[in-house]
């Protein structure tokens, strides 16, 4: 495993990334988790698919951390901590009209509706004032997990912002349909939720986009002493109802841009 790890949702996206590599040294595939390690322009990288959702992120981040920081023979924590860098290359839907289709957005923060972080201790880094303001604004049902707010790695976020990525607050949802306000045959507990996300503002920050992994990645990376950044290819704009006409091309350009930026990165 390399110390810089690209996570993607879709197992097929792993080879979309590694097709650009100079060489691939290993491939492993089990369930939705496909992993390839190789080099791109001389930089060693691991690419892993996580499938969908923070429940899978819990498995992926804990197990990759274990490979780096636990001696699996003696089952003891290694004395010297190895810091990993996680870079999510994912897709997302914007909820503000001003975010163009096919743009790239780096998540400065995530607001997680998934509840994963509440199962861990030592989460003092969560922004409680932000989540309290959000719960009040949305009249959040007590039957749902309590939202939590967590930041990405500042240095990594700045690197991508300086390369023209938009910056935003990403809502990590616990599902794709009801939790993201999509209606097929079922009615919603709060049909106004996406409008409330759209109108929410806290200290000049708006919620910008929806996806399903970032809060778990940011939260576990902080707990485990790693760096993380989440990059979103904006394929839908839920506020305008528009969808990308070239999703494959947009994801591909995000992959190439990210790989080139990672070559210049420190780890
Ligand atoms: O394209 P990926 O990386 O899977 O990301 C987004 O797409 C999936 C939902 O379609 C969720 O995993 C969401 O986070
Ligand atoms: O709207 C979207 C697009 C991609 N992934 C999501 O979870 N939501």
Closest residue CA from atom 8 of ligand 1: 52
Q: Which candidate, 212, 184, 181, places its Cα nearest to that of 198?
A: 181
For residue 263, the CA-to-ligand 2 centroid distance in Å is 28
User: CA separation (Å) from 87 to 124, 186, 227?
Assistant: 23, 35, 9
- Residue 220 confidence (pLDDT): 99
For residue 94, the CA-to-ligand 2 centroid distance in Å is 8
For residue 92, the CA-to-ligand 2 centroid distance in Å is 4
Are the CB atoms for 48 and 57 separated by under 8 Å? no
Place of tokens 């914007």: 94
For residue 71, the CA-to-ligand 2 centroid distance in Å is 37
Q: What is the pLDDT of residues 106-126, one digit of tens each?
A: 999 999 999 999 999 999 999
- pLDDT(100) > 80: yes
- pLDDT(266) > 80: no
CA 113 to chain centre: 13
Over range 213-230, report the average pLDDT. Answer: 99
State how far the Cα of 9 lies from the Cα of 14, in Å rounded to an integer: 9
User: Among the atoms of ligand 2, which is closest to the Cα of residue 210?
Assistant: 8
Q: Which of 10, 90, 116, 217 has most ligand 1 atoms within 8 Å of its beta carbon, as the pocket-test mutant?
A: 90
State how far the Cα of 170 lies from the Cα of 13, in Å rounded to an integer: 21
- Residue 256 confidence (pLDDT): 98
Over range 88-117, report the average pLDDT. Answer: 98
Ligand that comes closest to the CA of residue 210: 2
Which 8-state DSSP code applies to residue 81? P
Over range 84-89, report the average pLDDT. Answer: 98
114 lines ligand 1 (CB under 6 A): no
88: left (phi over 0), alpha (psi -120 to 50) or beta: beta
Over range 144-153, report the average pLDDT. Answer: 98
Are the CB atoms for 239 and 198 separated by under 8 Å? yes
- pLDDT(267) > 80: no
Task: Domain 4-263: give its CATH code.
Answer: 3.40.50.1580
Q: Which two tokens stand for residue 168?
A: 């935003």
Q: What percent of the chain has pLDDT over 70?
A: 99
Closest residue CA from atom 4 of ligand 2: 92
Cβ-Cβ contacts under 8 Å for 149 (sequence gap 6 or more):
109, 110, 111, 112, 126, 127, 128, 130, 131, 134
Terminal C-alpha separation, the chain: 13
State how far the Cα of 205 lies from the Cα of 107, in Å rounded to an integer: 12
- Residue 265 confidence (pLDDT): 82
DSSP secondary structure string, 233-257?
EEEEETTTTEE-S-HHHHHHHHHHH
50 lines ligand 2 (CB under 6 A): no
State how far the Cα of 75 lies from the Cα of 54, in Å rounded to an integer: 26
- Residue 135 confidence (pLDDT): 98
Are the CB atoms for 218 and 150 separated by under 8 Å? yes
Can you give the residue ranges of every domain in the chain? 4-263
Looking at the chain, which runs of residues are DSSP E strands? Answer: 4-8, 23-30, 33-40, 43-49, 70-71, 76-77, 85-94, 104-112, 148-151, 166-172, 201-202, 205-211, 227-237, 242-243
Q: What is the pLDDT of residues 168-213, one digit of tens each?
A: 999 999 999 999 999 999 999 999 999 999 999 999 999 999 999 9
pTM over the 0.80 mark: yes
């Amino acid at each position: 495993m390399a110390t810089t790890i690209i996570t993607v949702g879709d197992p097929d996206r792993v080879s979309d990334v590694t097709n650009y590599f100079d060489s691939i040294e290993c491939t492993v595939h089990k369930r939705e988790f496909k992993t390839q390690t190789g080099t791109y322009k001389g930089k060693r990288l691991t690419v892993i698919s996580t499938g969908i959702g923070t429940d899978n992120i819990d498995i992926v981040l804990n197990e990759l951390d274990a490979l780096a920081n636990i001696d699996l023979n003696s089952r003891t924590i290694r004395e010297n901590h190895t810091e990993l860098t996680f870079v999510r290359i994912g897709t997302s839907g914007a909820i503000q009209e001003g975010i163009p289709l096919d743009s790239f957005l780096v998540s400065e923060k995530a607001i997680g509706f998934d509840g994963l972080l509440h199962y861990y201790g030592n989460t003092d880094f969560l922004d409680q004032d932000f989540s309290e303001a959000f719960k009040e604004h949305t009249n959040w049902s007590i039957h749902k997990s309590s939202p939590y707010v967590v930041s990405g790695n500042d240095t990594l976020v700045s690197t991508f912002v300086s390369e023209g990525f938009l910056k935003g607050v990403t809502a990590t949802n616990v599902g794709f349909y009801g939790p993201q306000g999509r209606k097929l045959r079922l009615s919603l507990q709060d049909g106004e939720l996406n409008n409330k996300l759209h109108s929410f503002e806290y200290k000049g920050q708006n919620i910008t986009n929806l996806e399903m992994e970032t809060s778990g990645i940011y939260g576990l990376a902080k707990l485990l002493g790693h760096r993380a950044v989440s990059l979103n290819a904006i394929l839908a704009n839920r506020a305008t109802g528009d969808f990308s006409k070239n999703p494959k091309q947009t994801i591909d350009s995000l992959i190439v841009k990210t790989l080139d930026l990672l070559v210049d990165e420190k780890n």
